[in-house]
Structure 1
Amino acid sequence: MRVSIVHPRDLAESDIERWRTLQGADPAFDSPFLSPEFTITVGDLQDQVRVAVLQDGQDTVGFFPYERHPMGIGKPVAAGLTDAQGLVHAKDLEFDPQRLIKSCGLGVFEFDHLVAGQPLLTSRHTLHPSPIIDLRDGYDSYIETIKLTSGKTYRSTAYKSRKLQRDVGPLQHDYAVTDSATLRTLLGWKTGQYRRTGRTDRFARPWIVELVERLLATDTEHFGGVLDMLYVDGRPVAGHFGLRTATTLAGWFPAYDTSFAKYSPGLIHHLAMAEKAAKAGIEVIDMGRGEKEYKEKLKNGEYEVAEGQVARPSAGAGVHWMLRVPVRKARGTVLANPVLRSTADRALKTFGRLRTSLQSS
């Protein structure tokens, strides 16, 4: 096994085609976050992105996209933003994970959404559910399932949709919008949500805004950005920007206008989005790992993703363990306990209200 390290921009067209072939050969890799286009676009904006190209004899058998940070600490591409991570590889590939990260110049590789079946996985890694909307049997079949599993939510959402139209006006849903002004509206809502809930505003980092703008302008057979928006009486009320392969849409940035919150516009929008996505050939909407109430209400299936690290003896791995592992374990304890999770969520929202009040005073 030979491992070559390249910057994404230096991948040959034959490499990109081989990557797509390997990705298409295994349903586990059917995520836009594992597509070569995503890594190449992020690499244009973040110079620490690299790709390890694995070769066995004359055959290219794998692509491992990653970021190399100081002290040999490795992370997935666009760490903190992606819901699918890992190596795109040939079936039954076997190798030593520690040798791989050594070849990458890493002492440790940290992940939180590693897809199932990875050669990087061991029994030590923690698996988490990642809810999906499975549309492989069609939208109508999905709705019938939701009526059984989340009947109260479905009836309430249908009622609120009718009430919104009575109170304000007719609904319109536009799928695969390319207008940059519409994107800015959505990102503005999302920034407000981050601030209200005490989270870090991702769009305060200019490179992430540029990344989203570039991905919105990307539309190929294999990969593209998808922006859709729900309107009432011509006014935008909820929307979403995500990425797609030919058959999977990755949920990424959903948001809504809070002045319509009593109508649950996010749920109305998600059902409308699922219907349009199914008509566009999407078979799975991956909503991503996370204990969000709306995901539990809308899901009719789930994947599994892993959290953990692969490390070899090194100074960087030791520093990483001291700084990150205790924090990750504490976070895992909180997320696994509904009471602790709810308490932490309330604390973050309180912080968000205080921060917003101070910023506006």
Structure 2
Amino acid sequence: MRVSIVQPRDLAEPDVGRWRELQEADPAFDSPFLSPEFTIAVGDLQEQVRVAVLHDGPDIVGFFPFERHAMGIGKPVAAGLTDAQGLVYAKDLELDPQRLIRACGLGVFEFDHLVAGQPLLGARHSRHPSPIIDLRDGHDSYIETIKQTSGKTYRSTAYKTRKLQRDVGPLQHDYAITDTEALRTLLGWKTDQYRRTGRSDRFAHPWIVELVERLLATDTESFGGVLDMLYVDGRPVAGHFGLRTATTLAGWFPAYDTAFAKYSPGLIHHLAMAEKAAKAGIEVIDMGRGEKEYKEKLKNGEYEVAEGRIARPSAGAGLHWMLRVPVRKARGTVLANPLLRTTADRALKTFGRLRTSLQSS
């Protein structure tokens, strides 16, 4: 096997076509984060993005998108933003992960959302559920399942939907729109949420804002950005921006106006989004790894993703171990324990309130 390393912008159209062909041949790769368009878009904004093209004789048998940082530390493309990571490759590919990262000029490659079945996956890597809304049997079937598994939530959301309309006005849901003003409103809500909950504001990085805007303007048969918004009496109350393939919508940035929090606008919106997405041909909404209450209430299935690293003896790998592995293990311990997870979440929200108070004073 031969490996060539290129910048995403240098992929020729036949290469992109081959990538797409390999992606569409295996359902495990049906995520927009594994699409060539996503890597190319990020690569236009981040110089550290590379693609390893795997050749077997004259044939291209795989693509491995990654970021190469100082001291040979490797990460997935747009690390921290993506819910699906890994190789897109031909069936029955035999691959030595150590040889691959060496060919990429890496001492270590760290991941936290590696999709199932990857040749990069080792026995010691931790596995985590990634909840989904499975619409392959139709939207009606999904709703019947939710009524059984989350009946109280479904009834409460239906009641709040009616109450919101009685109190404020009629509801309107617009799916797959390209309104940049609506996008700015959504990102503003998301920034407020990050600050309120003590998280780092992703949209404080201009390149992420530009990436989202570029992806909003992308709409092909196999890949595109999807913005949808819920309005009441003409006022936006909740929305979501995500990415799609022909059949999978990846949940990415959901948010709502906290002035309407008592009506649970996020749940109202997600149920409306599922219906519109199903009509548009979406079969799966991947809500992504993470212990969020709304995901547990809305899911009717789940994927599996893995977290860990691949390393070979090098100074960069040693430094990475010291800086990252103990922190990752501690975080994993907290997330695996409901009491510790709740305590940590409360601490972050307290920090968020203090930060907001200091910024406004």
- Aligned pairs for 1:26-65 (under 5 A) are 26-65=26-65
Give the distance between the partners of 2:123 and 2:265, measured in 1 at CA. 41
Partner of 1:341: 341
* Alpha-carbon offset, residue 124 of structure 1: 0.6
Q: Which runs of 5+ in 1 are unaligned?
A: none
Give the distance between the partners of 2:124 and 2:241, measured in 1 at CA. 34
Give the distance between the partners of 2:248 and 2:59, measured in 1 at CA. 28
Partner of 2:24: 24
Partner of 1:76: 76
Give the distance between the partners of 1:51 and 1:210, measured in 2 at CA. 21
The code of the aligned residue for 1:45 comes to L
Matched, 1:125 2:146: no
Residue aligned with 1:128, SS: strand
* Alpha-carbon offset, residue 27 of structure 1: 0.2
* Alpha-carbon offset, residue 95 of structure 1: 1.2
Matched, 1:143 2:143: yes
Cα distance per residue 1:64-109 (max 9 Å; x no partner): 0000000000000000000000000000111110000000000000
Give the distance between the partners of 2:50 and 2:104, measured in 1 at CA. 9
Matched, 1:157 2:157: yes
Partner of 2:195: 195
Aligned residues: 361
TM-score by length of 1: 1.00
Partner of 2:171: 171
Give the distance between the partners of 2:54 and 2:321, measured in 1 at CA. 27
The code of the aligned residue for 2:201 comes to D
Give the distance between the partners of 1:312 and 1:17, measured in 2 at CA. 32
TM-score by length of 2: 1.00
The code of the aligned residue for 1:76 comes to P
Give the distance between the partners of 1:141 and 1:124, measured in 2 at CA. 37
Partner of 1:276: 276
Partner of 2:223: 223
The code of the aligned residue for 2:80 comes to G
Give the distance between the partners of 1:181 and 1:191, measured in 2 at CA. 15
Q: Which runs of 5+ in 2 are unaligned?
A: none
Give the distance between the partners of 1:218 and 1:255, measured in 2 at CA. 21
Give the distance between the partners of 2:87 and 2:314, measured in 1 at CA. 22
Partner of 2:208: 208
Give the distance between the partners of 2:194 and 2:125, measured in 1 at CA. 29
Give the distance between the partners of 2:301 and 2:39, measured in 1 at CA. 27
Cα distance per residue 1:263-299 (max 9 Å; x no partner): 0000000000000000000000000000000000000
Give the distance between the partners of 1:12 and 1:193, measured in 2 at CA. 40
Partner of 1:250: 250
Residue aligned with 1:45, SS: coil
Residue aligned with 2:340, SS: helix
Give the distance between the partners of 1:16 and 1:310, measured in 2 at CA. 27
Give the distance between the partners of 1:21 and 1:117, measured in 2 at CA. 18
Identity of aligned residues (%): 89
Give the distance between the partners of 1:285 and 1:274, measured in 2 at CA. 8
Partner of 1:93: 93
